[in-house]
Structure 1
Amino acid sequence: MYKKLAIQTIIYSIGLLIPRFINYFFLKFFTFHLRKEEFSLYTDMYALSFLIIGFLSFGLENTYFRFFYKKNYNKDIIFSTGVIIQLLITSFFLIFSIKLIKNISYITGYQNHIDYFFMFFLIIFFDTICILPMAWLRVNDKPIIYTIINMINVLIQSILIIYMFYCYKNFSEKKSLFFCVFKIVNSFTDKTGYIFFANMISSLSNLFLVLPILLKRINIKKFNKILAIKMLNYGIPIMFGTIAFSINENLDKILIKRWLSDEINGAYSACYKIASFMSLYIRVFKLGIEPFFFKKYNDSNAIYFYEEITYMFILIGLIFYVLICGNISLFIKFLIDDKYHITISIIPIIMMANLFLGIYTNLSIFYKIIDKPIIGTYLSLIGVLITLLFNIIFILIPNSNFMIPAWGTFTSYGCMLIFLYFWSKKNFKKFCNKIINIIFHFFFAIFIVFIANFKKIEINLFFQFLYLISIFFLERKRFINLFK
């Protein structure tokens, strides 16, 4: 079972890592070709859209996993019911948002970019519909198809972006049926429109690729009203948690743009994306392990495996943290243009915050398997309140610094993790008896990163090598078992 899990996780990793590495290539590409205010517009639009997607998802992905592994429900009925709910919600959103598009663009300060909002509404619509078909591939052990779909989408998006940045003017004069579709970009006021247009086409292609699953598996007659109510009751608390996560992730960038400047927000957002390397690690881990967690919950030794997997997740995450943050001055030169380096100091803080979030995500399995996702809602609200507090301080203090929102994200995720740990310890007493070891590993990793910023490269590499040797020596049994 565990060898199969490892193989599937590797395949999922390929489908996630290659597109993300391409995105990091485009991070350098965008920071070179876009002005800071254009890059700020690019990140701000995505920040606003993530808040909407968090609402529209209704927590149905986790809900689908939970109900899929319950023996008293038919798998096809669960899928049909979930997708029909999603279609109704997203269709209502699309109609409602397009009708109010002028008002929305004016409220957000983008009255000159109505076309951008139209594209984003379509992106959100397409992406939300694809959530459950992609989840279906995961629970039905089809990682290769999942990976191929991701690769095709990122390839389409990449080709379109490069074409429009470099080749569009050359082709636009030709009377070609294939290229006439790109005449729509003539109305864009800046190059960020190229990115949004490419994303819209990519999201549409994703919908076409999962369409066979939708057509084959969805049956309106299999829609179950009672099951739909149960799924919504389970998913809505998760939805609030997702919205809270979106606020924690994006509120700082939204406020920095409006209270400081586009230039600082552009730099802050670019460095934030480098810190999201940790999110990439979390996402890879989650793709393979999340369905497995739900599958194992009935086993007598489930808590033991949850603890071991979480422990290894923390250990590898801290190694990842040391290697990235210990060499950040080298990485940043390859990833973003020099003019964006002014906010480099947020990277270690946001990376550690993201690791806290990853551990929280692993521990959240405890309230999900006992059908109490409302616990996650309460914890997420605590996180949001902390984020809001730090951002209010950021707004109220004259000449405030962009470090305040970064520390807010760190504190928010850290407090959520601490509260969830004590709740898990209280309700699952056998869980996490190695907290002293974990705390030691955290302080050891932070110490290595701290001294790395004051040493020469050669000495820095020596300390990192010493750290890796020490960790392998201390945890050699676990690493050997992992490799086996």
Structure 2
Amino acid sequence: MSNLKKLAGQTAVYGLSSILGRSINFLLIMVYTAYLSKEEVGSYTSIYALIGFLNIIFTYGMETTFFRFSTGKNLDPAKVFNTTQSLLLTSSLLLGTGLYLGAPYLAEWMDYPGQAYLFRWTALLLTFDAVLAIPFAKLRLENKALVFAGAKILNILLNVGFNLLLIIGFPYLIGLDTIPADFLGYKIEWGVEYILLANLFANGLIVPFVWWKAGMFKFQLDGEIIRPMWKYSIPLLFMGLAGVTNELISRLLFEYILPDNFYPGFNSREAAGVFGANFKLAILMNLVIQAFKYAAEPFFFKQSNDKNSPQLYATVMHAFIIFCTLLMIAISANLNWIGPLFLRKPGYEEGLFIVPMLLMGYLLLGVYFNLSIWFKITDKTNYSFWITLTGAIVTLLVIWILVPIWGYLGAALATFTCYFLMALICYLYGQKYYPIPYQTGRGVFYMFLAFAVSYLAFFLKLPQPFINFLAKNSLILIYILVVLALEKDRIKTYLKPKSSL
């Protein structure tokens, strides 16, 4: 129990930064859907999907590799930090320069003619992200959760502040003739440009602070460390590429695969904006998973040598499923008011029905993260590549086949199907090479029940708004009662006083 309490405490701190920070950041979708056109929101969706994909290439699995070599390889942690950070700094500068120079070609390929500057800024943003990755990982490894959380929240606040200034503040002041229309080179017609610039400014400003708090590094490229690290990280790189394909490719390709005039009144890029905005609502599940991941990854590695670790991993998984299924139902039951609150212009509500499907997809991603501990602590990371490659192939096939037929639903099914298959394959191989006593039957039952209840709550419509609200949310209480009835013996065990002997 002490280990679980420690994990829960660290998850709460990381969750504070992740949930508070991303909740603040999440509010930006209100700004984008209110002040930008659907086409601009579509551009934001596709460009940030590309950034998510390239971010994996820029960091190539080095965060997980850093944890593994700092905790379980009998190496000097300081030397590992110096080597890892030096390697990432060198590679990110080379990759960033290549992307910067190739920006005009990328702009043409993605149908942004004359806007190469968007992808030059993308190169700078990716470079900043890469050189921050290992210092942030070091803070997590050293259990400096409060410093980590503070830096993340500062970054989010800066990003939100710059967004509000550039998208709302400057146009308002220009309208009042308080500042000239071309103040500091401001261009009133820009939209997605200011989203990128705000993110770029925010990330650049926190680099010195994070480096200082993590401890300055000595430039050092130790071949004896790099060679085994590289061998460990290469499968993680391909896993990451396949994984981000699974997560982001639907948003990146949606506008290019959707047939013209599929949705009356919307062109393909505008429809991609509707899809991307509704996808953002599902991030409420993803941010919980991210907070859990921040705390759990170093925790899992540190517990790997304990003989009781398999039981601990199983208990963590079970608690994770219960919490996330409850969250899924709560969000789905309240989408009728959450949706219009954040998606400010008419038309976005057409995609709300895919949100419960996406929430379930993210929950399965969290299950996969829990399951993946077996290949990380047994150094069988090559399995991660094949599992995520299978997921990526399935994602592409489902998108290619179903988006032209079912539009938004086809893209959401790609996310759901991919993570379901990845979790299933990872579970089967994990039980073969590193058996963990998961409560599989009960966990699957909770997920199936929660998925059904989520859609029941979403589609339930009673004539009186207040009665409708009570009826939808009463389903949350019913689900809690079911869980309590099934978990009563385990709860009694946890609440039983410890013997003084």
TM-score, normalization by structure 2: 0.90
Residue 71 of structure 2 contacts residue 301 of structure 2 at CA under 8 Å; is this kept in 1? yes
Deviations 1:50-75 (A, max 9, x none): 11111111100000111111251000
Deviations 1:39-58 (A, max 9, x none): 00111110111111111111
Answer yes or no: is 1:339 the counterpart of 2:344. no
Q: Quick one: which of 409, 417, 425 aligns to 1:419?
A: 425
Q: Quick one: which of 314, 319, 333 aligns to 1:326?
A: 333
CA apart distance, 1:15: 1.2
Which residue number in structure 2 is paired with residue 193 of structure 1?
Answer: 193
Aligned equivalents of 2:197, 2:436: Cα separation in 1: 51
Q: Quick one: which of 475, 483, 487 aligns to 1:475?
A: 487
Query: Cα distance 1:318–1:75, how it changes in 2: closer, same or farther (>3 A)?
Result: same
Query: Cα distance 1:480–1:312, how it changes in 2: closer, same or farther (>3 A)?
Result: farther
Aligned equivalents of 2:250, 2:280: Cα separation in 1: 13
Residue 424 of structure 1 contacts residue 431 of structure 1 at CA under 8 Å; is this kept in 2? no
Aligned equivalents of 1:128, 1:364: Cα separation in 2: 23
Could you say what secondary structure the match of 2:437 adopts? coil
Aligned equivalents of 2:292, 2:483: Cα separation in 1: 20
Query: Cα distance 1:98–1:460, how it changes in 2: closer, same or farther (>3 A)?
Result: closer
Which residue identity lines up with residue 451 of structure 1 in the other structure? Answer: L
Could you say what secondary structure the match of 2:324 adopts? helix
Query: Cα distance 1:435–1:89, how it changes in 2: closer, same or farther (>3 A)?
Result: same
Which residue number in structure 1 is paired with residue 449 of structure 2?
Answer: 444
CA apart distance, 1:276: 1.7
Answer yes or no: is 1:212 the counterpart of 2:212. yes
Answer yes or no: is 1:112 the counterpart of 2:114. yes
Q: Show the 5 A alignment for 1:103-142.
A: 103-142=105-144
Aligned equivalents of 1:331, 1:175: Cα separation in 2: 36
Residue 330 of structure 2 contacts residue 473 of structure 2 at CA under 8 Å; is this kept in 1? no
Aligned equivalents of 2:316, 2:6: Cα separation in 1: 15
Aligned equivalents of 1:276, 1:446: Cα separation in 2: 17
CA apart distance, 1:102: 1.2
Answer yes or no: is 1:403 the counterpart of 2:402. no
Which residue identity lines up with residue 103 of structure 2 in the other structure? Answer: I
Which residue number in structure 1 is paired with residue 261 of structure 2?
Answer: none
Residue 82 of structure 2 contacts residue 218 of structure 2 at CA under 8 Å; is this kept in 1? yes
CA apart distance, 1:247: 1.1
TM-score, normalization by structure 1: 0.93
Deviations 1:122-174 (A, max 9, x none): 11110111000000000011111111111211121222121222332537988
CA apart distance, 1:481: 7.1
Which residue number in structure 1 is paired with residue 44 of structure 2?
Answer: 42
Using the TM superposition, name which of 46-55 and 6-15 deviates more: 6-15
Answer yes or no: is 1:31 the counterpart of 2:29. no
Could you say what secondary structure the match of 2:27 adopts? helix
Aligned equivalents of 1:324, 1:482: Cα separation in 2: 29
Query: Cα distance 1:317–1:167, how it changes in 2: closer, same or farther (>3 A)?
Result: closer
Which residue number in structure 2 is paired with residue 311 of structure 1?
Answer: 318
Query: Cα distance 1:253–1:482, how it changes in 2: closer, same or farther (>3 A)?
Result: farther
Q: Quick one: which of 91, 94, 99 aligns to 1:92?
A: 94
Which residue number in structure 2 is paired with residue 230 of structure 1?
Answer: 228
Aligned equivalents of 1:479, 1:164: Cα separation in 2: 51
Deviations 1:66-95 (A, max 9, x none): 111125100001101111110111011121
Answer yes or no: is 1:291 the counterpart of 2:303. no
Using the TM superposition, name which of 263-272 and 97-106 deviates more: 97-106
CA apart distance, 1:19: 1.2
Using the TM superposition, name which of 122-131 and 188-197 deviates more: 188-197
Q: Quick one: which of 302, 312, 321 aligns to 2:309?
A: 302
Residue 185 of structure 1 contacts residue 193 of structure 1 at CA under 8 Å; is this kept in 2? no
Query: Cα distance 1:383–1:71, how it changes in 2: closer, same or farther (>3 A)?
Result: closer
Aligned equivalents of 1:481, 1:284: Cα separation in 2: 27
Could you say what secondary structure the match of 1:413 adopts? helix
Which residue number in structure 2 is paired with residue 377 of structure 1?
Answer: 385
| CA RMSD of superposed structures (Å) | 2.3
Aligned equivalents of 1:53, 1:204: Cα separation in 2: 16
Aligned equivalents of 1:400, 1:318: Cα separation in 2: 26
Answer yes or no: is 1:349 the counterpart of 2:380. no
CA apart distance, 1:259: 3.1
CA apart distance, 1:293: 0.3
Aligned equivalents of 1:73, 1:328: Cα separation in 2: 50
Aligned equivalents of 1:113, 1:425: Cα separation in 2: 50
Aligned equivalents of 1:483, 1:55: Cα separation in 2: 47
Q: Show the 5 A alignment for 1:443-462.
A: 443-452=448-457, 453-456=459-462, 457=468, 458-462=470-474
Residue 53 of structure 2 contacts residue 245 of structure 2 at CA under 8 Å; is this kept in 1? yes
Which residue number in structure 2 is paired with residue 362 of structure 1?
Answer: 370
Deviations 1:425-478 (A, max 9, x none): 12233532x212112212221232233223532332223212112212322454
CA apart distance, 1:233: 1.0
Could you say what secondary structure the match of 1:73 adopts? coil
Which residue number in structure 2 is paired with residue 183 of structure 1?
Answer: 184
Which residue identity lines up with residue 311 of structure 2 in the other structure? Answer: Y
Query: Cα distance 1:120–1:299, how it changes in 2: closer, same or farther (>3 A)?
Result: same
Residue 76 of structure 1 contacts residue 217 of structure 1 at CA under 8 Å; is this kept in 2? no
Gaps of 5+ in 2: 259-267, 463-467, 497-501
Could you say what secondary structure the match of 2:454 adopts? helix
Aligned equivalents of 1:212, 1:151: Cα separation in 2: 17
Which residue identity lines up with residue 475 of structure 1 in the other structure? Answer: E
Aligned equivalents of 2:140, 2:252: Cα separation in 1: 33
CA apart distance, 1:29: 1.5
Aligned equivalents of 1:403, 1:430: Cα separation in 2: 35
